[in-house]
Structure 1
Amino acid sequence: MIGPYRSLRVGTRGSRLARAQTELALAALRRAWPDVSLEIVVITPAGDRDKTTPLTILGGQGVFSKELHQALLDGRVDLAVHSVKDLPSELPEGVVLAAIVARSDPRDALVSRDGSRLAELPLSARVGTSSRRRQALLRAVRPDLDVVDIRGNVDTRLRKLDQGNFDAVVLAATGLHRLGWAGRVTEYLSPDTFVPAPGQGALGVTCRADDEELRKLLGEVHDPIAGLAVEVERAFLRAIGGGCQTPIGAYATVGGGQVTLRALLGDSALKRLEWRQVTVPDEQAVAAARVLAAELKAALGIEEVVRP
């Protein structure tokens, strides 16, 4: 049993954002388990070690979580905290997403150097993002833009913007908020058009699948509304197949016994995008997400998504 003298080792990435998010999760855990000692263990994944190679080349999905999951399976940590959008569509065997602790603003945010909104950016403005989804959406809305890859943590990307390397960057709103940079946001991009990545804004905790006691305890900090939304979005991601080179968006809202799922899929060349939306009762939402994925793949003539 977890008693007053047991400690749990919590795995996290070492970036300022990851540590800030882990502290949010730890606060929830401490409220639920006031007598349990929580020890932070910093794990450095491949995506943090290599900050220059484009993510599509570096290895795609799991590049920010693989080492954390290996630490779980090796017994070096007992649980791990993640931005859910960084999790692969399929978790490693023996690892489960046991709790969604919180979900904040899921939207993408534009930060421009001169305060211009997206529609106001000058012709051929240089916009930085590492996300294929954001690249495709930016090109769909503003084909004239020079959309280029950018790597580095949030602070690094803002510094590159301020140094004049870019006219604007697109980042996750929740990351800017959690780091105290909300005042830098020029424009929040509507999720109706800029459909967020599956799980964007959600804070998740993984643990070993066979640790039934810990899974039960994590249920005490699980947000069931956010959890259902994330479950539906990730069901869509799994049904697509989840390649890092393919633009994929999924955003679910939950209320009144119903789930509305807005989904996006593009081709690997970033030339075509398809959107769909469906509203169904809660209990039908996961199945509806799979159907929506099949419809979008058929619309684009995609049999398998492109993987790096």
Structure 2
Amino acid sequence: MVGAANNEPRTIVVGTRQSALALTQTGQVIDELKRISEKHGFDYHFEIRKIVTKGDRILDVTLSKVGGKGLFVKEIEQALLDGEIDMAVHSMKDMPYELPEGLMNGATPKRVDPRDCLIMKEGTSLDDLREGARVGTSSLRRSSQLKNMRPDLQLDSIRGNIDSRIRKLETEGFDAVVLAAAGLTRMGWQDRISAFIPVDLSIPAVGQGALGIECRREDAGVRELLDLFNDTETSLAVRAERSFLGALNGGCQIPIGAFAVVQKKAEDSFDDAELELTGMVGSPDGEVMLKEIRKGTDPEQLGRDVAAALVARGADRILAEIGDNV
């Protein structure tokens, strides 16, 4: 399993969570890796290993109260470190900024729709929600921004996979649930979306819509394969967003959002491409909403600059207060 040369047969074991979405996106990744392997003459075969994470086991508590970072990746990363799997497919928004020693993000494939969206009983826009409507979300980031836009809404925690959250519209009396458009897109369920929320109104989670393919640094064969799978534009954008996250020492369970757009200066190259990064930190009640937009060519420095600008406006105090209350 480990250490085969590129021209020798090798079975690559791919770790993933066991939800329908995780298995679907892992299958899509494997299909593309098979295509790349055949094109470049790698004799690689792939098998899936399902792994249950802490975030999957605890479904009756909001994510912000479960605590810690890496709720959906730690067990998978341990399997990587132990050599039980050779790569792991993660939703990038689940990945902490700091990865364990010996592991790395080997590829960031092309991003799909980064927006949040609404699945509604009635209506086709946020404005169509009745006053006092009950909206389900597991994300402090989403609830903070929704409360800022619509203080009248009743935001309640909702956990589980995509399908079970949608079913709760009927079974638990919600008027709408908020989900990532990317998950519905990968499942082929775009027709279930009632309304998209523009990124300038609901700043996405860091890396939302992107995948991270994690591997061992020492595994040259897997690294070479994943390098061919990497999408430069998505990688640049996500690097800026994750640098912002790291500078604020944040995780996916607190009201932090970031979204970067990449603009090429040359048609056939991303050399010296300019990035525009929007960063957000909000209070859980939505009353304070801090946003900064900066441009730059160094994604890591840009992330740090946007974080510093928000800290200067009090973002660190908001995050410290949240940390004390969870």
Q: Normalising to structure 1: TM-score of the pair? A: 0.95
Shift of 1:60: 4.2
Q: 1:36 to 1:213 in 2, by over 3 A?
A: closer
1:39 pairs with 2:39: no
The structure 2 residue matched to 1:5, chosen from 9, 28, 50, is 9
List per-residue Cα deviations over 1:164-215 (Å, max 9, x = no partner).
5210011000101111221111111110121101100001100112223322
Say if 1:275 and 1:296, in contact at 8 Å, map to a contact too.
yes
Shift of 1:116: 4.6
1-structure distance, mates of 2:121, 2:240: 36
Question: What is the aligned partner in structure 1 of residue 179 from structure 2?
Answer: 171
Say if 2:205 and 2:252, in contact at 8 Å, map to a contact too.
no
Q: Secondary structure at the match of 2:108?
A: strand
Say if 2:141 and 2:256, in contact at 8 Å, map to a contact too.
yes
Say if 2:108 and 2:231, in contact at 8 Å, map to a contact too.
yes
Larger mean CA deviation between 287-296 and 270-279 belongs to: 270-279
1:1-308 correspondence to structure 2 within 5 Å: 1-34=5-38, 35-256=43-264, 257-267=273-283, 270-280=286-296, 282=297, 284-300=298-314, 302=316, 305=320, 306-307=322-323, 308=326
Q: Normalising to structure 2: TM-score of the pair? A: 0.90
Shift of 1:301: 5.2
Q: After TM superposition, what 4+ stretches of structure 1 lie above 3 angstroms from structure 2? A: 267-271, 303-308
2-structure distance, mates of 1:98, 1:245: 24
2-structure distance, mates of 1:210, 1:270: 45
Larger mean CA deviation between 8-17 and 157-166 belongs to: 157-166
Unaligned ranges ≥5, structure 1: none
List per-residue Cα deviations over 1:255-277 (Å, max 9, x = no partner).
22211111111235543110111
Over the aligned positions, Cα root-mean-square deviation in angstroms equals 1.6
Larger mean CA deviation between 139-148 and 284-293 belongs to: 284-293
Shift of 1:245: 4.9
Q: Secondary structure at the match of 1:25?
A: helix
**What amino acid does structure 2 have at the position aligned with 1:272?**
V
Shift of 1:15: 0.5
